[in-house]
Amino acid sequence: MSSSSLSTLPVELIHYLFEYLDITTILFSFRYVCKRFHTIVNSFDQYKLDMRMISKYNFDRLCQIISPEKIHSIILTNDMNTPYQIRIFLSRFSFDQFSRLQSLTLIKIEENNLFSILMHISKCSLQSLTINCSSWDTFSYTIRVLLSSTIAKSNLEKLDLNISYRDLDMISWPPLPITLKYLRLERCTFQEYCMILRHAINLQKFELTECLMYNSDETIYRPIDIIYPLKLISLSFGACFMRMKELLIFLSCTPKLQYLKLIIWTDLSDSVIDGKKWENFISDKLPLLTRFEFFFDDLTHINQDSVNILSYTQPFRTPFWKENKHWYVMCDYVKTLSVIRLYSLPICNLLYTYYADSRKISDSTWKTTDNQMRLIHHIRELNLNLNEIVEPDNDIQVMMKLYLNLNILSLF
């Protein structure tokens, strides 16, 4: 029976394993194990340069030895742990050196640094571009036009910007590359939303923080002449205020959806939290939908004596929700705020405010007690009001389980 070791694996397989290792491990550890590994590392040309958690010492070492033509992906950030990183990186390299760069992520970048990069990335065959700026509203018109022109002339498949569509100042045509498959923006108007769908014909996933519906007149918002993007299967947006009438107009543009996520502020005078209306609309207009996540926050203050929590969850107990779709919901009446919130399970809101059981009335269509952590595994930031008195045998245990499940814990 033959045996093999890492040192005898084919070069192609070792290069494949590099996909699961960070660049510092490859260059500063694996490379020095033996002469063969040294040669294999030197022949690798698909490095992913992720500078988010790197030390200043390793940052300087990497800048000294990396070959720009071997870099396929770059992530740079100016967060509190790596201040001025992008500026220092640009003092060492020009982006026209990264001739094989396919993915670029810039986090908390300053305007002058972004200008320098945009002036030189035209030679790159970028497929993915992510830009996160602290305050786009302070950026000049020149930088917006340059960014828009760069995007329009590209063959991007992924575009992630924390900016509104209007602030891009799209002067080129078409406004977005037809190769685009994933798009994330902060906000756009309904008309701009229709424009995006009309021209980004290969779009498969669209994430939008807010869609602005300036007028609820259905005749104004009827999506006339829309060419439905047959490939768009995933849509998510929120948090914003939108009524059911506007939501249905909004979603009528995307009949091929398989995934839908909504984080909406509403009020009880509207029917956003009406499970029966959602059942009818999904059955009629979104027949391919297999996953529906939502978090509806009611802005209406209501008296506890008039609250019938079961009336909100009862429409979600039909065979459509529980047997056909296997979609479950929870409804809370938060006594301290006098508000209703209705949400799907698992909780889809990344930022979640936990209220002690003594401060709320809850009902859920989910009755399985096994693996309760699965219901909150999407949450990444948790707010706990420690001024409230909680029951040590119940609420403290829940809080500790939540804490262990989160990446970030925010206390107020």
CA distance 345 to 263: 13
What pLDDT shows up at residue 378? 60
The candidate with the shortest Cα–Cα distance to 206, out of 227, 186, 184, 239, is: 184
Q: Is the pLDDT of residue 217 over 80?
A: no
Higher local confidence (pLDDT), 122 or 151: 151
Q: Is the pLDDT of residue 1 over 80?
A: no
What pLDDT shows up at residue 410? 41
Higher local confidence (pLDDT), 106 or 394: 106
CA distance 25 to 23: 5
Residue 18: alpha-carbon gap to chain centroid: 26
Q: What is the mean pLDDT of residues 210-217?
A: 65
CATH classification (class only), 45-330: alpha beta
What is the token pair recorded at 25? Answer: 């491990």
Residue 348, judged by CB atoms within 10 A of its CB (0-12, 13-18, 19+), counts as buried
Question: 190-199 vs 244-251: helix axis angle to the nearest 10?
Answer: 10
Which residues, 6+ apart, have CB-to-CB distance to 116 below 8 Å? Answer: 90, 95
Q: Is the pLDDT of residue 223 over 60?
A: no
What pLDDT shows up at residue 409? 41
Which residues, 6+ apart, have CB-to-CB distance to 342 below 8 Å? Answer: 273, 294, 296, 298, 312, 313, 329, 330, 331
Q: How far is CA 189 from CA 115, 240, 248, in A?
A: 27, 12, 15
What pLDDT shows up at residue 241? 80
User: Could you tell me the pTM of the whole model?
Assistant: 0.84
Q: Determine which helix (DSSP H) or strand (DSSP E) holds 264, and give its type and residue range.
A: strand 259-266
Q: What is the mean pLDDT of residues 61-75?
A: 95
**Amino acid letter, residue 20:** Y
What is the token pair recorded at 339? Answer: 């508000």
Would you place residue 69 in the very low, low, confident or very high pLDDT band (cuts 50, 70, 90)? very high
CA distance 206 to 137: 23
- Give me the phi and psi of 244, to 5 degrees please: -60, -40
- Give me the phi and psi of 3, to 5 degrees please: -125, 155
Q: Is the pLDDT of residue 370 over 60?
A: no
The candidate with the shortest Cα–Cα distance to 334, out of 408, 276, 388, is: 388
Q: Is the pLDDT of residue 17 over 80?
A: yes
CA distance 46 to 132: 24
Residue 64, judged by CB atoms within 10 A of its CB (0-12, 13-18, 19+), counts as exposed
CA distance 265 to 274: 14
The candidate with the shortest Cα–Cα distance to 76, out of 53, 54, 57, 52, is: 52
Query: Please, what is the end-to-end C-alpha distance for the chain in angstroms?
Result: 62
| Vertex 261 angle, CA 385 and 286, to 5° | 150
What pLDDT shows up at residue 7? 78
3-state secondary structure of 55: coil
What pLDDT shows up at residue 412? 35
CA distance 267 to 260: 21
Question: 111-118 vs 141-152: helix axis angle to the nearest 10?
Answer: 30
Query: CA Rg, the chain, in Å?
Result: 25
Which residues, 6+ apart, have CB-to-CB distance to 380 below 8 Å? Answer: 350, 351, 406, 407, 408
Q: Is the pLDDT of residue 94 over 50?
A: yes
What pLDDT shows up at residue 385? 60
pLDDT digits (tens, 9 = 90+) for 331-352: 998 888 888 889 999 888 777 7
Higher local confidence (pLDDT), 186 or 212: 186
Q: Which range, of 175-179, 337-341, 382-386, averages the lowest pLDDT?
A: 382-386
